[in-house]
Structure 1
């Protein structure tokens, strides 16, 4: 008699996890930090022994440093580590840029933290592994950051996948291998299993997913309460939770990236015209207007500048006019030489179109 109902789950879920996000950002912005043990947190020597590790790079992790560890303990484990005070404003700004990339792949994504999110890409016709590769390439080419991606048919398996091959890896857990993958998984790697539950599993002789699967749901409830139900289904590679879309569209925009930095002002003008044409078409298709025009520029050192113009009345949806506005802002930002890797044009303060916008040339 079957112990559980095996349901066909045809969803395509990605879990994206930026590798040691805060540390990676600091190493990107300061190459001198790339080859040293780096801890993001307060240096205990400068803060009277206080502080907690926010994250650490993989060199420091090999010495035993991990997130949420006290700074003093981390310094004992890795005396040569360099401490950098976290800059959460910078991390939030970069996280927003990553979320903009997510939005190009699906309208349904669930941020979990600044450095990770679930994406439901079921509606995207491309294979999920292909989408994972494209997404990682976008994040690397635009932000010069790596991430690990888990690909599967539910959130728990996608999360387990992203943790399985870090850093900078992709793990695909398809339905035909999911049960074997979970069976071989060490019990400590199951979602929600902490120090106390690990001790109880040791007492019960449970070491792997296969051992866990041998326990009945009632047995698991006796030992772990309601958490036992979650463990029961995890052991069977099943999870019913949906990707919760908390994103509310408040802007419409497009960006253009360049494989090599551009230095030609005429190329900037052409790019802004192309972006404006696409944004206008998108706004008209969605019957929207916007009162704020935002311009984004990122240089070859990954420094991002944004400027905006806000009007009391909605902007005229005319690509030539918008491109000129963007070019004027760019010329003010870069009156001399420049090396640009990304240009963006976005409308915010958007609202439903209450009238038909026309160009002056249509009169």
Structure 2
């Protein structure tokens, strides 16, 4: 294997990292080499791994090893039929990540595709791709096993955490020019309960407030929300983000966009913020404040100007697409959370969970708890008694 880029970074909160990208290239190349599949006289095989780009890192956070994988792959393949028809092409895997667990999206291309080559392509899809998935599913575990000695620091060697650094506000003179000039900032909307879009349409809005407690320092959370490399890890996509007031950011493939309004290092982030499906031109304002405690950080989130119909989706997606991935990827854990917040709109968020009565438990309408069934039964008894009484009295009067 070729020499790999290797670096270790140990900070006051015991974060260590190792770049394993070159190792991942060699690993995937070796795992895919000469994979062969056959079906109905058609034989196909993987020829080479021609592209492997993205991120492959092994991190340790307070003794927990965390593989961060987000790779873009391209492989070449060839195949032939029993009557000497030949085909070749590529398999593109745009996102092989830590959570793939042997499953990923792919695209198969065929050079000069025609009717005679399509059966060969189908064997690639139905027989060769499953072999690739089986070979790649252990990438994360094998990376941990191979490189854990280079990253692992025994708890006895960690020592106590150093108190967090003093908060230093960012002055305008300290802001450096981004490598790519930021796009013009989008105007911030009003924070009142009703605002008007550029089309003068009235949008009823409300505010959302939340508190999340994470087991790390304020400076680490600040970096996690602004550093492009870290943002890519927890969003599992390539972000467009700059650490400069006035710059425009884009997350989750453009589903979330906004502008940096205020940055106070390790203390506060203020952004305009919108979902792609919100009314055109409408932005909310998100204020994130960091409160450093002895061994954790309390994160206060306040979002002003959320369209009323989007409140539930925004709350749920803050939790699902921001805080849960951050905790899982970086091992920050969670002490408590006052509720939850954003990514997909209400129309595109996951389906609401149904109420559950317990594992495998079925609803019983005749339970002794006095539900609707028991009430109907009691009424029936009373009516029967009345009818019988009437019949009895009628017979007595005739005699």
TM tier, shorter chain?
under 0.3
* Higher helix proportion: 1
Higher radius of gyration, 1 or 2 = 2
TM, length-normalised to structure 2: 0.25
* Higher strand proportion: 2
